[in-house]
A and B are shown apart, each in its own frame.
Chain A
């Protein structure tokens, strides 16, 4: 990794902004759909907006080293806010916009943010609700003035006014802004991101300019990202991935970041933009595939048969063509024909017509789902990363893409597997520290720079690819000493479109039991086609026919798990379908939608014991939190079912 020489001046995001405004001044830097039209800003214009805001922030009294929290949906102005914050020597702290006020209180209090930049009234209201507990908080800037005319404006400021005031004071403040910007180096903090925290309180991960720019640089080179690429920014701004893609890589390469009109218009916006570089967690790809399949079920006979015929062909040869492997001339011809008739139009309607590189990460993706997209000719790959690594730990190079591995170490990353099976890495992207938490920092990062990922995995000897088994702390032993790796089984279950989420229990026990969440889209559609009436999620989840279907899925998974010698003890003996969806508002999941195992275990303690006691049904009451923070409770009597397991001894005998 060649470090840019200190005098190259590209040691911070604001420095990159300056370069982009000079080099690609008239190219689009940001677009946002508003009032039905894609509004566009060139790099030159983006620089102007950012500088006005930076001046405004100095004008309001932002000091170097201050933390500025940024809360809201993906909008150009909020991305500019992050860069303007950096420009005045302060540190941006993006927050999850769907976090409830209580959650925000911890983070805002922990970093001691003096200033907050909020997207709209909803976010402003949340901050106002908790402002009495935030001793360091001074001023809040909001973007969308709607509904806030009557608010007390002693601590509230409108975004555009801050810019105007900055502009008015430009003669006086510009030298100070330039002085602060020039002071930024590779060692200055670029951003602080809070980990979602599957256990305990969120931790503030401090990432330096070196972390972000080096990661952005090597990953951009790895996938040949360049100015002219288009991305759609729709994942939470508080997530490290979005920061790397929409700020890091965008500023390094100069590509254009597009912001959707609203969360509901995402599909349309995606199709209109046609991104060339796309990132989504597996559940988005799953959701899209489910929708395609549902729509094909409703299509006419000819269309449906054509779709299935060509999709079968694509599954056979598509991935090989994508990987550049030899494929017969007839098959190639038929694939080209399929591309005209099916794949092309399908990709187009999904908004993937122009995708050169697509990534999925965060969770394991079902092999069928993965292959579906690849067979269409979409270069979908997997990567493995975390906030502490500025995303990239391993990535899949073109031509070596598989559903069951996460790839080889990313450029500049060293990898080692500890004796316990835990994965460690060392890289230029490895974080500086956890803010105000030296113990955790020391636990995670050793003096030589090796960082513990907390995941157990191994490197496949044949290919050199990393395979992740599970969270290291979740991997346990069953009563008879055999290995318990819940994620492995849960993922197999989640690969069924009907199953949204699954949680396996069994550490220290003699057998495993599972909770299952059905996918309302898939199961709802099935119910509709089979004339099964239901009034609520709860009713559908408890329907005997749904339970039968889920049972058959569980038994299929058991058969598949039994094949694996190490994990055959993890077969599911009993299961139930939960009466509510696991939800981040109830604390059962993180904001990035990872199950908080301990909390689920405590909360549904009665159900777990009932499963182990062998009861046929169990009454339960669960507290739920609504989006506005109010609480309610739902009551249900759940059916607990037995599933067929493959006897392990029989398998041993067969060998």
Chain B
């Protein structure tokens, strides 16, 4: 792309690589409603990229385009240097893109452990039949997967609820379990749809710490949507600002903060 595509080291010592995903002139329509209008931006390897904007700006739609849930009518998605053809969400997941949902989407009746194990699905090669017999390869595979899952449980400090059914957990913990499930897929890009929504200050601080730790520890690229401005400005390396389906700002938190269009969109503008 441009000169900015060079690798660099952030102030806190993280390495930001080249562009890993690029959205080119994306337009998404639902009938007559234009949800996303000609938007382009990129996500670089190892960075925390935030998408912000007022309600209805098209942020979640954008995330859904990245995760393959929606297919844009116009525009191209480039991933790891190649144009991505139209894909089903599970194919996108298999490519190393995992996500969490704004309204938690876990299996309520299953234990935390089992929920997180489902995140390993893309890494399993044995079929249902082999797993039913649970001998030889299927068994080895499950043990290896369980080990990975346990590391994540340890990482997110949810050991105490390992065997608890998800339905019995409070909201803040469910969010964490969802993050655990997404991490279990060992994604190269992690998409977080409002990870802090509905949380109290302490839970937000915990979640922020986990997001930073994930980025730091596993080198995972993170794209997140968030409403809490303080959180976004503290966490992210670069921010895309959307308003009414259009991109109105893109840059570092400081650049975005001083962008007049962004200020207008958030604070309203005086009409005279």
Residue positions of A touching B, CB distance < 8 A? 34-37, 146-147, 149-150, 261-262, 264-265, 268
Contacts and interface: CB of A to CB of B under 8 A. Distances in A.
Interface stretch (B59-67, B100-108, B147-155): B147-155
Interface in B146-168: 146-147, 150-151, 153-155, 157, 159-160, 162
B216 interface: yes
A628 B208 CA distance: 16
A121 to B, nearest CB: 9
A261 B162 CA distance: 12
Contacts of B150: 35-37
A358 to B, nearest CB: 24
Contact of B154 (A35, A149, A150, A268): A35
B216 A264 contact: no
B272 interface: no
B121 to A, nearest CB: 20
Given A36-B146, A147-B213, A262-B159, 9 more contacts: A34-B154, A37-B150, A146-B155, A149-B216, A149-B217, A150-B12, A262-B157, A262-B160, A268-B160
Contacts of A150: 12-14, 216
30 contacts: A34-B154, A35-B147, A35-B151, A35-B153, A35-B154, A36-B146, A36-B150, A36-B159, A37-B150, A146-B155, A146-B213, A146-B217, A147-B213, A147-B216, A147-B217, A149-B13, A149-B216, A149-B217, A150-B12, A150-B13, A150-B14, A150-B216, A261-B159, A262-B159, A262-B160, A264-B159, A264-B160, A265-B159, A265-B160, A268-B160
Q: Which of A36, A150, A265 counts the most chain B CB atoms within 10 A?
A: A36
6 shortest interchain CB distances as A-B pairs: A264-B160, A35-B150, A150-B13, A265-B160, A36-B150, A261-B159
Nearest to A151: B13
A35 B157 CA distance: 11
Given A264-B160, A265-B160, A36 B153 contact: yes
A34 B150 CA distance: 9
B162 A36 contact: yes
A265 B161 CA distance: 8
A449 B216 CA distance: 57
Interface string B30-64: 00000000000000000000000000000000000
Interface string B212-245: 0100110000000000000000000000000000
A150 B212 CA distance: 12
A150 B14 CA distance: 8
A438 B105 CA distance: 65
Nearest to A261: B159
Contacts of B162: 36
Contacts of A264: 159-160
Contacts of B13: 149-150
Nearest to A148: B216
Nearest to B151: A35
Nearest to B157: A262
Contacts of B157: 262
A598 B147 CA distance: 52
Nearest to A268: B160
Contacts of B217: 146-147, 149
A34 B151 CA distance: 9
A489 to B, nearest CB: 37
B73 to A, nearest CB: 43
A145 to B, nearest CB: 9
Interface in B133-152: 146-147, 150-151
Contacts of B213: 146-147
B180 to A, nearest CB: 13
A265 B157 CA distance: 11
A147 B214 CA distance: 9
A149 B157 CA distance: 19
Nearest to B12: A150
A149 B217 CA distance: 8
Contacts of A146: 155, 213, 217
Contacts of B155: 146
Contacts of A262: 157, 159-160
B163 to A, nearest CB: 8
Contacts of A36: 113, 146, 150, 153, 159, 162
Interface in B2-37: 12-14
A150 B154 CA distance: 21
A34 to B, nearest CB: 7
A618 B153 CA distance: 48
A34 B159 CA distance: 9
Q: Which of B155, B159, B217 counts the most chain A CB atoms within 10 A?
A: B159
A149 B213 CA distance: 10
Contacts of A35: 147, 150-151, 153-154
Contacts of B154: 34-35
Contacts of B14: 150
Contacts of A147: 213, 216-217
B246 to A, nearest CB: 37
Nearest to B113: A36
A491 B160 CA distance: 33
Nearest to A152: B13
Contacts of A261: 159
A35 B153 CA distance: 8
Contacts of A149: 13, 216-217
Nearest to B150: A35
Interface string B159-186: 1101000000000000000000000000
Nearest to A147: B213
